[in-house]
Structure 1
């Protein structure tokens, strides 16, 4: 049996770094293919209307765009008679926006900043949902229930014992904003926590693929590790 074709993805974001990073995250996952990257609503519509580009199955969509709003793009997509699935990836936390996005048919909502593990979970859930309903002309109640259940996992990502989601989010948020590789000592000083705690959370981000670490060269005494938020190479 031949392997299933990858899910064709369009990534839409108005921040060049975030756009490239999210596209790179997709490329690190099995079963997905980045077809195009769009820096705004106009560019996204151009991709969706391009007859030379295979139909998009999934859009990763920021809500704040320089030439419009994510909700406006969703409405335009519906007006074109297109039916791609959409995962919102945005810093917008406004409840009305969330409600409107759900009403317009998004399959998931991921708030920035996030770890690669959280991103992977959302897309893995979507892929499971997609696989249940692929290559079917008719379905059953059981298949529909199983497909929808994939989009609504029963629990949160499990963290190692003693680690708190709020602290992990704070460390991830801090590291993502650093312009240069940073050490656990620097993280501890900025976040007001012990160096041991900071290093444990930073190492967890490395283990889940959200960060990288390397020795800091040129520093006197015992070599120190420095951490960087994962960005496209």
Structure 2
């Protein structure tokens, strides 16, 4: 299990993050902090291996996420951190990246987006473990790529980013799926689900493969490309 410390000055936000994590296998919330000072103490005083990941807010009453990271990095703590915040200031983003955040997730977001980022983090940890010792260039590229969400592109007319995220999440977690199954899981129409699935095929994120049901024409199903 990946031990997670939740840091946010809003108790409701912490509760939402906790509930989201309960829906994703492999994560265990081991602590909650509502300000920068207690977050620094919790990280530095934790037993070795108790906290693997911190979901860190940027704005808090007594400091910022940048302050928290500066303190823990100065003490040599290399805990993984995902910034979860409404702050979009480019300078803050650069500072957080320089201090080693693995992801920067901007509020508000859907559960599908949250889940995908956490699953990317799991993939990153797995690849880091597999590549222990001298790593090849391919292993390094794959390790860095594990934390990189799909490149944003201009969507065709009639497609929305939110619905695309829902379809992508459904296929990634529950696939392979047909267009009908994807529609049921996401609440979209079959025609709309197929459009999003075909867009993901064109983007190289999903493979379209035939699904045979005895005699007759096979049905297309869509599988997330590893």
Using the size of structure 2 for normalisation, the TM-score is 0.65
- Name the counterpart of 1:68: 63
How far has the Cα of 1:139 moved from its partner? 3.5
How far has the Cα of 1:95 moved from its partner? 0.8
Q: Give me the CA root mean square deviation.
A: 2.8
- Name the counterpart of 1:151: 147
Between the aligned partners of 2:126 and 2:3, the Cα distance in structure 1 is 13
Using the size of structure 1 for normalisation, the TM-score is 0.63
- Segments of structure 2 that go 5 or more residues without pairing to the other structure are 166-185, 189-226
- Secondary structure of the equivalent of 1:147? helix
For residue 80 of structure 2, the aligned residue among 79, 85, 92 is 85
Q: Structure 1 residues 53 and 103 mapped into 2: Cα distance closer, same or farther (>3 Å)?
A: closer
- Name the counterpart of 1:14: 9
- Name the counterpart of 2:215: none
Contact 2:6 2:56 in 1 (8 A): yes
- Name the counterpart of 2:177: none
Q: Structure 1 residues 59 and 110 mapped into 2: Cα distance closer, same or farther (>3 Å)?
A: same
Between the aligned partners of 2:163 and 2:130, the Cα distance in structure 1 is 43
- Name the counterpart of 1:26: 21
Give the alignment of 1:84-233 within 5 angstroms: 84-134=79-129, 137-141=132-136, 142-155=138-151, 162-165=158-161, 203=187
- Name the counterpart of 2:54: 59
Between the aligned partners of 1:111 and 1:85, the Cα distance in structure 2 is 17
Between the aligned partners of 1:86 and 1:166, the Cα distance in structure 2 is 25
- Name the counterpart of 2:36: 41
- Segments of structure 1 that go 5 or more residues without pairing to the other structure are 1-5, 170-201, 205-233
How far has the Cα of 1:166 moved from its partner? 7.1
Relative contact order, CA 8 A, sep 6+: which one is greater?
1
- Secondary structure of the equivalent of 2:139? helix
